[in-house]
Amino acid sequence: MFFKVLRVELNKAFKNKMMLMTAFFLFLLVLVHSVVSIYDFRIEYNNFIEKGSNENCMLTSMSVFYNWIGTDVVSFYTSAFYFLMPIFVVLPYGWSLISEIKKGYTQNVLIRTSRMNVFMAKYIACFISGACIIFFSLVLSFLILSMFLPAIKMDSIYPYGVIGQGCMWADLYYDNPFLYCVLYTLIDSLFAGLIASSCVALAFIFKKKISVIMFPFLFLLVIDYVDDNFLLGAEYSPIKFLQALPVSNNTYTWVVCIYIVLIMSISLGIIFIRGRKYEVV
Residue nearer to another protein on the CB measure, 95 or 127? 95
The per-residue b/e assignment along 113-138, b for 16 or more CB within 10 angstroms, e otherwise, is eebebbbbbbbbbbbbbbbbbbbbbb
Residue nearer to another protein on the CB measure, 74 or 261? 74
Residue nearer to another protein on the CB measure, 4 or 208? 208
Judge whether 164 and 55 are in contact, CB under 8 Å: no
Q: Which of 49, 230, 277, 279 contacts another protein by CB under 8 A?
A: 230
Q: How far is the CB of 272 from another protein (least distance, A)?
A: 27
# binding residues, another protein (CB under 8 A): 30
Residue type at 46? N
Peptide bond into 238 cis (omega under 30): no
Contacts of 231 (CB under 8 A, 6+ apart): none
Applying CB under 8 A, does 57 fall inside the site for another protein?
Answer: no
CA–CA gap between residue 248 and residue 129 (Å, rounded)? 30
Pick the piece of the chain touching another protein (CB under 8 A) from 5-13, 67-75, 187-195, 261-269: 67-75
Applying CB under 8 A, does 75 fall inside the site for another protein?
Answer: yes
Q: How far is the CB of 7 from another protein (least distance, A)?
A: 27
> Is residue 25 packed enough to be buried (19+ CB in 10 Å), middle (13-18) or exposed (0-12)?
middle
Applying CB under 8 A, does 80 fall inside the site for another protein?
Answer: yes
CA–CA gap between residue 179 and residue 186 (Å, rounded)? 11
Q: Which of 16, 79, 99, 146 contacts another protein by CB under 8 A?
A: 79
Pick the piece of the chain touching another protein (CB under 8 A) from 48-56, 196-204, 219-227, 256-264: 219-227
In terms of residues, how long is the chain? 281
Judge whether 149 and 34 are in contact, CB under 8 Å: no
Q: Which of 109, 167, 192, 213 contacts another protein by CB under 8 A?
A: 213
Pick the piece of the chain touching another protein (CB under 8 A) from 135-143, 180-188, 216-224, 259-267: 216-224
* Mask for 233-262, x = binds another protein (CB under 8 A): -------x--x-xxxx--------------
Contacts of 227 (CB under 8 A, 6+ apart): 235, 236, 237, 240
CA–CA gap between residue 96 and residue 126 (Å, rounded)? 8
* Mask for 82-111, x = binds another protein (CB under 8 A): -xx--x---x--------------------
Helical spans, DSSP H, in 203-248: 209-230, 238-241
Handedness of CA 58, 60, 64, 68 (dihedral sign): negative
Q: Which residues bind another protein (CB under 8 A)?
A: 61, 73-76, 79-80, 83-84, 87, 91, 159-160, 210, 213-214, 218, 221-222, 224-225, 228-230, 240, 243, 245-248
